[in-house]
Amino acid sequence: MRAAVLLRPGAIELQDLPIPEAPPGGLVVRVRTALTDGTDFKAFRRGHPRMPMPTPFGHEFSGDVAASDSSFAVGDAVMCVHTAPCGECYWCKRGQEELCETIMPTMILGAYAEYIQVPERIVKRNCYPKPPELSYVTAAFLEPLSCVVHSLDLLNCRPDDNVLIIGDGGFGLLHAMLLKRSGATVLLAGRREPRLKIARDLGIETINARSRNIGEEIRKRTRDRGADIVIECTGREEVWEAAPDLARRGGTVSFFGGLPPDAKALFTASRLHYDEIRLISPFHFTPAAVKRARDLLVEKKIDPLPLITETVPLAEIATVFERLKNGEGIKFAVTP
Ligand SMILES: [Zn+2]
């Protein structure tokens, strides 16, 4: 089979690899759609602590069962994520399954390929039949949407909240779409006009941070208070550091965009303490979040297709990442 391998940052190679076999209790999926994603892009640009290279590549996908040692039958269309918690460790037992001891070491990568192996623990907890009326592209949004559902679980947003989202990538836009649905007042800040236009076409208010001052704008909108909630979706140190100053007294800052392993962020301690700024850092997702993300997609409560820039064959995978590096597009749908 053809499969993309990330040899080192900046170097993607298409290789001929053997088609995997179904592991005990697991599946092999013939990938129909794999989506590009910010994490993949980070790994491509600067490397990733959890992806020693060379590494198979890509983790948002949907497809058809090609081999099975599970209750799924060959030919079934499925949607799943690339991890599942063990259910037995300290964190799992405390309901923090996103932090499961073995969730990251057992994740599967390699969705930019014709076939991918799905182990039993994912099949049992985080794999669902894909209804025929749901496209493979929409179904492949299960993983990123699960991250955002989990992020909002930690946030406890109210419908009367004024929310500032910083970052106009796929995750910023998915946060904006879900929060708008919940009734919150959302302002999306970004620096790329084509992405902001997509948000505006979805009825989301935007501000271009290149030409306007986000702090002034948010104060104008909140009688000088600042945002009830600020969600950082850029994964940039300077934005992490600036975010608390955009929140109101008693507000919440959510750091959704992860930083490189050695990064540090500096905050004014008195502002955090005397203004009671709550800081949270949502990471990954629980099976319950995956289930709700699945429901949102299947029940068509959210339509993520406007985030797809273009559909491309697997042969163009290296070009696609170059295009992303040049600031082009949001998410590409790759069809192996
Ligand atoms: Zn666990």
Q: Which residues contact 303 (CB under 8 A, 6 or more apart)?
A: 138
| Number of neighbours of residue 296 by Cβ within 10 angstroms | 22
β pairing state of 127-129 and 247-255:
unpaired
pLDDT of residue 117: 97
Res. 49 pLDDT band, cuts 50 70 90:
confident
Tell me: the pLDDT tens digits for 261-270?
889 999 999 9
Dist CA 62 CA 82 (whole Å): 11
Q: What value does the mean pLDDT take over residues 170-181?
A: 96
Tell me: the pLDDT tens digits for 142-160?
999 999 999 999 998 999 9
Q: Distance, CA 249 to ligand 1 centroid (Å)?
A: 36
Dist CA 75 CA 63 (whole Å): 9
pLDDT of residue 229: 98
Dist CA 336 CA 331 (whole Å): 16
DSSP state of 113: B
Res. 48 pLDDT band, cuts 50 70 90:
confident
Q: Distance, CA 284 to ligand 1 centroid (Å)?
A: 13
DSSP states of 61-105 as a string?
EEEEEEEESSSSPTT-EEEE-S----SSSHHHHTT-GGG-TTTTT
Tell me: the pLDDT tens digits for 110-142?
999 999 999 999 999 999 999 999 999 999 999
Q: Distance, CA 260 to ligand 1 centroid (Å)?
A: 24
Q: Which residues contact 309 (CB under 8 A, 6 or more apart)?
A: 328, 329, 330, 331, 332
Q: Distance, CA 256 to ligand 1 centroid (Å)?
A: 22
DSSP state of 275: T
Res. 52 pLDDT band, cuts 50 70 90:
confident
Q: Distance, CA 60 to ligand 1 centroid (Å)?
A: 22
pLDDT of residue 261: 83
Tell me: the pLDDT tens digits for 274-283?
999 999 999 9
Dist CA 54 CA 43 (whole Å): 11
pLDDT of residue 39: 87
Length, in residues, of the chain? 336
Tell me: the pLDDT tens digits for 203-239?
999 999 999 999 999 999 999 999 999 999 999 999 9
Give the three-state DSSP class for 253: strand
Q: Distance, CA 88 to ligand 1 centroid (Å)?
A: 5
Q: What value does the mean pLDDT take over residues 295-319?
A: 96
Helix count and strand count (H, E) for the chain: 12, 16
pTM: predicted TM-score of the whole model, two decimal places: 0.96
pLDDT of residue 72: 97
Residues with CB under 5 A from ligand 1 (ion): 85-86, 89, 92, 100
| Number of neighbours of residue 308 by Cβ within 10 angstroms | 20
pLDDT of residue 38: 87
- Backbone Cα Rg of the chain: 20
Q: What value does the mean pLDDT take over residues 57-64?
A: 96
Nearest alpha carbon to residue 235 among 197, 286, 281, 184? 281
pLDDT of residue 319: 96
Domains annotated on the chain, with CATH: 2-141+304-335 (3.90.180.10), 148-280 (3.40.50.720)
Q: Distance, CA 194 to ligand 1 centroid (Å)?
A: 41
Q: Distance, CA 199 to ligand 1 centroid (Å)?
A: 37
Q: Distance, CA 112 to ligand 1 centroid (Å)?
A: 27
**Chain CA centroid to CA 188, Å:** 17
**Dihedral angle, C-alpha 170, 289, 139, 163, nearest 10 °:** -30
